A = this chain, B = another copy of it.
Amino acid sequence: MKVNRQVLLESRPVGTPVEHNFRVIENPIRQIADGEVLIQNLYISLDAGFRNWMKEGSGDHILPAMEIGEPVMGLTLGRVVESKNPKLPLGDLLMIRVSWEEYSISNGIDEWYVKLPEGIDAPLSYYLGILGDTGLSAYFGLTDVGKLQLGETLLVSGAGGAVGSVAGQIGKIFGARSVGIAGSDEKCQRLMDELGYDAAVNYRDTEDLSAAIDEACPNGVDVYFDNIGGPLLEAAINNINEKARIILCGAITDYHLDEPAPGPNNLFNLSKNVATMTGLMCHHQKDRYDEARHQIMDWIESGQLRSIEYMSDGIHRVGPAFCDMFQGKNFGKTIVKLAD
């Protein structure tokens, strides 16, 4: 009989998540019933945003709050290994909102799964990163929302993260100046060396972030792709050009706070510059995923775009890898591989 290993939420994180907030347990796998499938999870996608749902009472119309002692909710890429559901035959590959676990049972009517698209020849892990929500967020953020133009300046926070590592590269493809913000000199160097960023600002190593951005963006900021929020957002707003577009994609600053931090105190600068700030949730562009994925693969195949992954192995690495993101240890998309 197969055994399933799951990661439980052992305790709610206080501030930055730490390893002992999570615990791995083993359970036997029950028989599946009619209509159900057994899924072997091959990869787990780690997203800082899930930290939000680890807060007590944080549930909303999108997702319920996670409960202590329960498996941690997450997004996986899995393969159907047993099926009593004709719509999900053996071997089907699914992206599915289940738990941090090696095996999941689904009734197949859960709205939280999508089959992997056909017709694209890419490594599976790409569907969690550059071809998944994070890559697509970068793509639609810069096209539909940011409308980045040739010769403009793109500023990206969390520039070495899952979204930022794609956004900066797409900025270069569009002929913009890509400027990244990251949290260490080493990361800043990698932004320029590996991702083609024109300049990078280490926000931890400056007294005046606003002035540092100004220096890195001599022509001002036309598009700011925000994955961080908080003081970085405020500093970016100080540097926007007329008709600038700000894309609110993430706010990792807030995820580990119990009380939300004050917002930027300079929104008046949006008025003066007739600038726009827009929330981004890429699933609103679902009908164009196919187009976007083909475009992204074309760029990868022509060598203009690279998939950057922060990959770990095994269920015991899931909690630690999640914590790594909040300490800025990751570079690229954080993924844990569970099986081939």
* A248 at interface by CB-CB < 8 Å: yes
25 A-B pairs within 8 Å (CB atoms) are namely A229-B268, A249-B271, A251-B271, A260-B265, A260-B268, A261-B265, A262-B262, A262-B263, A262-B265, A263-B263, A263-B264, A263-B265, A264-B267, A267-B277, A269-B279, A270-B277, A270-B278, A270-B279, A271-B279, A274-B278, A274-B280, A274-B281, A276-B277, A276-B278, A277-B278
A236–chain B nearest beta-carbon distance, Å:
13
The B-contacting residues of A in range 239-284, CB under 8 angstroms, are: 248-251, 254, 260-281, 284
A267 to chain B: closest residue by CB: B263
Number of contacting residues on A, CB 8 A?
33
- Contact pick for A60, options B260, B264, B272, B278, CB 8 Å: B272
Q: How many copies of this chain sit in the oligomeric assembly?
A: 2
Pair B275/A279 contact, Cβ less than 8 Å:
yes
Inter-chain contacts of A279 with B (CB < 8 A): 269-276
Contacts known (A265-B261, A265-B262, A267-B248); A278 close to B275, Cβ less than 8 A: yes
Pair B270/A281 contact, Cβ less than 8 Å:
no
Binding site for B on A (CB under 8 A): 60, 62, 229, 233-234, 248-251, 254, 260-281, 284
Inter-chain contacts of A250 with B (CB < 8 A): 271
A158–chain B nearest beta-carbon distance, Å:
14
Inter-chain contacts of A266 with B (CB < 8 A): 260, 263
A275 to chain B: closest residue by CB: B279
A76–chain B nearest beta-carbon distance, Å:
23
A212–chain B nearest beta-carbon distance, Å:
20
CA distance in complex: A264, B261 (Å): 9
Inter-chain contacts of A268 with B (CB < 8 A): 229, 248, 251, 254, 260
> Taking each of A229, A262, A265, A271, which has the highest tally of chain B beta carbons within 10 Å of its own beta carbon?
A271
